[in-house]
Amino acid sequence: MRRYVIRRLAQAAGVLWAAYTLSFLVLDYLPGDPVSAMAGAGMDSSAIDPARLEELKGQYGFDKPVLVQYVDYLGSALRGDFGDSVSTGRPVTSVIADALPQTLQLTGAALLLATLLGGGLALVATYTSQRWLRQALLSLPSLGVSIPTFWVGLMIVQLFSFRLRLFPAFGNDGLRGLVLPAVTLAVPTGAMVAQVLAKSLLTALDEPYVQTARAKGAGRARVHLGHALRNASLPALTVIGLLVGQLMANAVVIETVFARNGLGRITAAAVSVQDLPVVQGVVVFGALVFVLVNLVVDLIYPLLDPRVVVAATVRRSPA
Amino acid sequence: MTDHGTDSQDRPGSRDGASPDGASTAGADSIPTDGHDGDHDGDHAGAGLLAIRGLSVSYRTRTGPLPAVQGVDLDVEPGEIVALVGESGSGKSTLAHAIVGLLPAGGHIDAGSVRFGGRDLATLSERELRAIRGARIGLVPQDPTVSLNPVKRIGVQVAEVLRIHRLATRRSAPLEAVALLERAGLAEPEIRARQYPHELSGGMRQRALIAIAIAAQPKMIIADEPTSALDVTVQRLILDHIQHLADELGTAVLLVTHDLGVAADRARRIAVMSQGRIVESGPTAQILDSPRDPYTQRLLRSAPSLALIRAIPPARTAPPARTAPPARTAPPAHAVPRARTSPSAAAEPSGAAERPLVVVDNLVKEFPLPRTAGGSARTLRAVSDVSFTVNRGETLALVGESGSGKSTTARLVLRLVDPTAGRIVLDGDDVTAARGARLRRLRRQAQIIYQNPYASLDPRFSIKEVITEPLRAFGVGDRASRTARARDLLDRVALPASVLERRPAELSGGQRQRVAIARALALAPQLVVCDEPVSALDASVQAQVLELLAELQADTGVAYLFISHDLAVVRQIAHRVAVMRAGQIVETGPTDDLFTSPRHDYTRALLEAIPRWSQQRQAASPGDGKPTGIGGRHT
């Protein structure tokens, strides 16, 4: 078990390095450099003293060869120093740390909502014996997946903020401000959870062991919750792990739509001004979260299904 | 099949003597025997435990209702074992499940009554049925490997019945579960109760399911093919135990089975089902010795475990490889495809006939096992030092139970799995480590027929595409000649050319397996590995497919490596038999010698696991243990 976790953490380090390198290469390939972009912002670039520009570039290391830049930045990243933001001059780590709580609240609330609503919908849809209700409920997830997030956001804001005036449309103020963006973010995620869980619940309910349970005299609720759900939860858990990545990506849109200060907003802003250190910091941080969440998911598997041996080193099982 | 007078006379006597209430037997038997006039028998219902009258069940399909059970009458008296026998699709499982209201989706009881203990189960609500299921009627399902919840401990699953019916408290249920597991014949029940299903063998799981079925001391147990997914030696133990428990607890058993041999061994009465109707029912001895219905007679002839006493074609007794190929009676026309693939065909009669087609030397296959906590890497030796030869035109059967390594051995020979050690020689060519072009040549010379024709044909392919795929893969011929070849092959496996454009789903299991055989023969291989080719098929279809295989061998001179767990099947097809156990071949010999004078204890155990009834018949048959003497009468 410990050996497995250590191996997985080593793999995680590899993933982080790859994410760092890839983002570095992509950003380096983009035309222009952050110093010129920053200097050009809001004023006439010809007014800038070229010598001053060179000095700034030298300060940030942009005048060195790419490879040297890469090694320099990687070296300090390993020490936890992702450099300073080009646009604000603050350390990248503190920029991320400041924005993190807002985003964690948002994505955490959205993940919880998605799991509860999506899982609940799947349970009710597969439990009900009313054909029309089942059909209606099972058609909702595909709708939720196919509608663009920003559109859902705008509609929800229109309805609940402007018409009903229940929740604030913008800003970061407390729990009330969290409701609309979290719901918006949870819609596509919850829809996917519902799709996968409903499918695997229906599959599980067809399994012979369910027949055995019914032959024992078990009622519908016992069969559904006591036998089918745990067997069906594995695929749903896998999807939830993968959806964390999607949540972080969607947070960029949602935080922009709802004007919330968070990692998403920072990312969007940093990309538009080519604030290289911040973008890289966010990418590596996102990869870290993703890798850790999926490690946790893998560690939960054996708790749900005793057949899953976490430390398995078997390449091919006997025929 | 009625020419076994001596033995049929002492059968009923011994059976009645063994039954606890011999006196009432005759009376009980007479009720269902002449019982298709449902209304008349209606008032009998109170006397018996279960009285089904005029039961009809249908399934809703897109094309309208599909009747599965039609006007069935069936009685079960308290404490007796009644066997419901029929082939797949006969409606026997539907009938069994309809009793407790556990029909699959779309199933519906259209008419009739199911009187059990004074109530008509067919009219009860789902809630009322729940109080019956598990408490009054227990169910032992078909396939123990998938019938236990994989994520719950065995003990919890047994205790659940007691908890549902409030027969035990949260505290006492786990202890009672252990006692029940012990009663079901599981050794170390305390440990078993804490284990998960995947940690138990199939036989142990079926015992756990039996523990669940008997937990509430029901009046009746419905056992739906309780052993068909188990190894033969385990089958017998499980059936023994069910019978023992039924006697001990006075529980009635409705034993649903496709195997007339099993029914004959266990049941006091037999009801034979075909196409949704009970075509014949009566005391076991009567059904076996003087079957009135033609279907019963046919079933008796083809019952797998009874097949041992069937005639075996004389040609099977001597491997044709010993006779030179020209002596083979194959018409020249059929020999053509064979000559096409082996350039050495002309030289074959002189020297090649002496050389075995397949030589396997000290084959070993090890699989790595998961590391245990703190332990070093372990391996599972699936195949251990296996050596054998297969001659041209010969059938060598590899017999063994699941986990014996027989399938792995077959896959090694085909190089679908790489051996850990040893040597495989095909037609004088050492293919142990063959790669690239040489491996492709092996693929062309050796083909495989899989166990499950429902899974081994691509559902999206037409039959023509299925059969011509190997030809396309090897670039043989053009489109027209491949189609002609497919038509020719279909003809050889006795299927009409009209199926060429159809999809596998439109064919029956037996027809699909014929298609699989045609595909295997498409490249005119020298060796075909048959991995349990008939075990997914009904008994009567089994016999036809085995005959087809034998005919094709006589025509084309192909050699078979025939993997099977079923000795009866092996006896019909194989020239020589190798018995495998725990990765090793424990005994090899000509089929007849092995069956008449087995040397190894394990071979004897396998032979003994065949239902006793047919063994007695075999012993009593003229020629005494030389069933080939009946000879030549095979259909």
pLDDT digits (tens, 9 = 90+) for A244-282: 888 888 888 888 888 888 888 888 888 888 787 888 888
Mean of the pLDDT values across residues A190-204? Answer: 93
pLDDT of residue B174: 94
Look up tokens 């599909």; give the residue.
Answer: B66
Q: Please give the mean pLDDT across all residues of chain B.
A: 80
> Who among A227, A307, A318 is closest to B380 (CB)?
A318
Token pair 């009644």 is found at B82
The residue of chain A with its CA nearest to that of B130 is A217
pLDDT confidence of residue A216: 94
* Domains identified in chain A, total number: 1
Out of A208, A215, A313, the one facing B368 most closely (by C-beta) is: A313
Average of pLDDT values for B537-542?
80
C-alpha–C-alpha distance, residues B617 and B620, integer Å: 5
User: Per the domain annotation, does A287 fall within a domain?
Assistant: no
B617: enclosing H helix or E strand:
helix B612-620
Reduce the DSSP state of residue B94 to 3 states and report it: helix
Q: Would the CB atoms of B142 and A318 count as touching at under 8 Å? A: no
**Predicted local confidence at residue B305, as pLDDT:** 52
Smallest Cα distance from B493 to chain A, Å: 29
Alpha-carbon gap: A316 to the closest alpha carbon of chain B (Å): 8
State the distance between the two ends of chain B, measured CA to CA, in whole angstroms: 13
Rounded CA-CA distance B577/B594 in Å is 7
CB B59 within 8 A of CB B30: no
Q: What is the mean pLDDT of chain A?
A: 83
Task: Say which residue, B440 or A83, is predicted with more confidence.
Answer: B440
Amino acid at B429: D
CATH of domain B5-136+216-302: 3.40.50.300
For B54, phi and psi rounded to 5 degrees? 55, 35
Q: Which of B143, B152, B370 sits opposite A309 (nearest CB)?
A: B370
Nearest CB neighbour to A318, from listed B131, B161, B408 = B408
Q: Which of B149, B406, B408, B563 would you mutate first to test chain A, the one with the most A CBs within 10 A?
A: B149
CATH of the domain at A132: 1.10.3720.10
Q: What count of CB pairs under 8 Å joins A to B?
A: 99
| Residue A15 within a domain | no
Which residues of A fall below an 8 Å CB-CB distance to B?
1, 207-209, 211-219, 222, 226-227, 230-231, 304-307, 309, 311-319
> At A301, is the pLDDT very low, low, confident or very high (cuts 50, 70, 90)?
confident
CB contact (8 A) between residue A216 and residue B150 = no
In angstroms, the separation between the Cα of residue A304 and the nearest Cα of chain B is 7
pLDDT at residue A121 above 90? yes
Strands (E), B321-445: 358-368, 379-390, 395-399, 421-426, 429-430
Rounded Cα–Cα distance for residues A11 and A7 (Å): 6
pLDDT above 90 (res A232): yes
Mean pLDDT (whole number) for A109-124: 93
Q: Which of B100, B143, B151 sits opposite A215 (nearest CB)?
A: B100
Structure confidence by residue, pLDDT tens digits, B554-576: 989 999 999 998 888 888 899 99
- Determine the Cα–Cα distance for residues A51 and B48; give it in Å rounded to an integer: 108
* Closest partner CB to A216 (pick from B127, B212, B407): B212
* B102·A304 Cβ contact <8 A: no
**Does B374 contact A at CB distance below 8 Å?**
no
Residue A171 pLDDT grade (very low, low, confident, very high; cuts 50, 70, 90): low
Residue A73 pLDDT more than 70?
yes
pLDDT reported for residue B589: 92
**B580 pairs with which residues across the strands?**
B585
How large is the average pLDDT for residues B501-527? 90
* Residue B84 vs residue A87, higher pLDDT: B84
- Alpha carbon of A314: minimum distance to chain B alpha carbons (Å): 6
Residues of A in contact with B121 (CB under 8 A): none
Please tell me if residue B375 touches chain A, with a CB cutoff of 8 Å: no
Dump pLDDT digits (tens) for B378-419. Answer: 778 889 999 999 999 999 999 988 778 888 899 999 999 899
What residue type is assigned to position B414 of the chain?
A: L
The least confident of A107-121, A241-255, B341-355, B516-530 is B341-355
User: Distance of alpha carbon B498 from its chain centroid, rounded?
Assistant: 30
Rounded distance between C-alpha atoms, residue B145 and residue B383, angstroms: 23
B148 touches chain A (CB under 8 A): yes
- Asked if B371 and A313 come within 8 Å (Cβ–Cβ), the reply is yes
Q: Is B102 on the interface with A (CB under 8 A)?
A: yes
The tokens describing A287, both together, are 């990869």
Return the pLDDT at A48.
63
Q: Do A211 and B102 touch (CB under 8 A)?
A: yes
Beta-bridge partners for B111: B56
The answer to whether the CB of B144 falls within 8 A of the CB of B202 is: yes
Task: Report whether pLDDT(B30) > 60.
Answer: no
Task: For chain B, positions 66-85, list CB contacts with chain A under 8 A.
Answer: none
Is B102's CB within 8 Å of A312's CB? Answer: no
Instruction: Identify the band that residue B100 occupies on the pLDDT scale cut at 50, 70 and 90.
Output: very high
The answer to whether the CB atoms of A311 and B100 lie below 8 A apart is no
Cα of B54 to nearest chain A Cα, Å: 24
Tokens 């397996």 correspond to B513
* Percent above pLDDT 70 for chain B: 79
**Contact between A227 and B149 using a beta-carbon 8 Å cutoff:** yes
pLDDT tens digit sequence for B37-50: 334 443 444 458 99
Residue A135 sits at φ, ψ, to 5 deg, of -60, -45
Question: Nearest 5°: CA angle at B437, between B433 and B440?
Answer: 80
pLDDT at A149 (0 to 100): 79
Question: Quick count: other Cβ atoms within 10 Å of Cβ A239?
Answer: 19
pLDDT at residue B2 greater than cutoff 50: no
| Cβ within 8 Å, pair B150-A307 | yes
- A3, A212, A223, A315, best to mutate vs chain B, most B CBs in 10 Å: A212
Please determine, looking at this structure, whether the domain spanning B314-344+352-368+379-463+524-630 carries the CATH number 3.30.450.40.
no
Q: In the predicted model, is pLDDT for residue A158 greater than 90? A: no
Question: Is residue A222, in this structure, part of any structural domain at all?
Answer: yes
Distance from CA of A318 to the nearest CA of B (A): 6
Residue A293 lies in a domain: no
Task: Quote the pLDDT of residue B322.
Answer: 39
Q: Do A209 and B148 touch (CB under 8 A)?
A: yes
Q: What is the pLDDT of residues B598-625, one digit of tens each?
A: 899 988 888 887 766 555 555 544 433 3
The pLDDT of residue B62 is above 60:
yes
- Contact of B408 with chain A, judged by CB distance below 8 Å, is answered with yes
B372 to chain A, closest Cα gap in Å:
9
Provide, as residue numbers in chain B, all residues whose Cβ is less than 8 Å from the Cβ of A311. Answer: 370-371
CA distances from A18 to A23, B117, B295, B618 (A): 8, 71, 70, 72
Can you give the residue range of the structural domain that contains A110?
A: 93-272
pLDDT above 80 for B119: yes
Report the SS3 class of residue B114.
strand
Amino acid letter for position B33: T
Kindly tell me if the per-residue pLDDT of B190 is higher than 60: yes
Query: Residue B28 — very low, low, confident or very high, per pLDDT cuts 50/70/90?
Result: very low
Q: Does B418 touch chain A (CB under 8 A)?
A: no
- The CA dihedral of B354, B357, B361, B365, to the nearest 10 degrees, is -170
Share of chain B above pLDDT 90, in %: 42
The three-class DSSP label of residue B358 is strand
Whether B632 shows a pLDDT value over 50: the answer reads no
Distance from CA of A118 to the nearest CA of B (A): 23
Query: Who's near A279: CB < 8 A, 6+ residues apart?
Result: A23, A27, A267, A270, A271
Dist. CA B271–CA B281, nearest whole Å: 4
Cβ contact B380–A231 (<8 Å)? no
- Do residues B209 and B148 touch, judged by C-beta distance below 8 A? yes
The per-residue b/e assignment along B527-557, b for 16 or more CB within 10 angstroms, e otherwise, is bbbbbbbbbbbbbbbbbbbbbbbbebbbbbb
The ipTM is 0.78
Residue B386 has phi, psi (to 5 degrees) of -95, 130
Q: Which residues of A touch B165 (CB under 8 A)?
A: 217
Q: Is B143 on the interface with A (CB under 8 A)?
A: yes
- Beta-carbon separation of B142 and A313 below 8 A: no
B380 close to A (CB below 8 A): yes
User: CB–CB of B133 and A219 under 8 A?
Assistant: no
What letter would DSSP give residue B119? E
Minimum Cα–Cα distance from B142: chain A residue: A208
Please write down the HEC assignment for all residues of chain A: CHHHHHHHHHHHHHHHHHHHHHHHHHHHHCCCCHHHHHHHCCCCHHHCCHHHHHHHHHHHCCCCCHHHHHHHHHHHHHCCCCCECCCCCCEHHHHHHHHHHHHHHHHHHHHHHHHHHHHHHHHHHHHCCCHHHHHHHHHHHHHHHHCCHHHHHHHHHHHHHHHCCCCCCCCCCHHHHHHHHHHHHHHHHHHHHHHHHHHHHHHHHCCHHHHHHHHCCCCHHHHHHHHHHHHHHHHHHHHHHHHHHHHHHHHHHHHHHCCCCCHHHHHHHHHHCCCHHHHHHHHHHHHHHHHHHHHHHHHHHHHHCCCCCCCCCCCCCCC
Looking at chain B, the domain(s) classified CATH 3.40.50.300 span 5-136+216-302, 314-344+352-368+379-463+524-630
Q: What are the distances in angstroms from CA B583 to CA B390, B409, B412, B420, B448?
A: 19, 9, 13, 13, 21
Contact between chains at A217 and B130 (C-beta distance less than 8 A):
yes
The answer to whether the CB atoms of A219 and B411 lie below 8 A apart is no
Cα-based torsion angle of the residue sequence B551, B557, B561, B567 in order, rounded to the nearest 10 degrees = 30
Task: For residue A232, give the chain B residue with the closest CA.
Answer: B151
Distance CA(B100)–CA(A212), nearest Å, equals 12
Task: Write down the pLDDT at residue A229.
Answer: 94
pLDDT digit string, tens, across residues B351-376: 445 688 999 999 999 887 665 555 56
Could you tell me if residue A62 is inside a domain?
no
The answer to whether B284 and B270 are in contact (CB under 8 A) is: yes
Residue type for position B166:
R
Please determine, for residue A45, whether its predicted confidence score (pLDDT) is greater than 60: no
Predicted confidence (pLDDT) at residue B507 exceeds the cutoff of 90: no
* Residues in chain B within 8 Å Cβ distance of A211: 102, 141, 147
pLDDT at B553: 93
Q: Do B132 and A217 make contact, defined as CB atoms within 8 angstroms?
A: yes
Q: How confident is the model at residue A179 (pLDDT cuts 50, 70, 90)?
A: confident
Contact A216 B141 (CB under 8 A): no
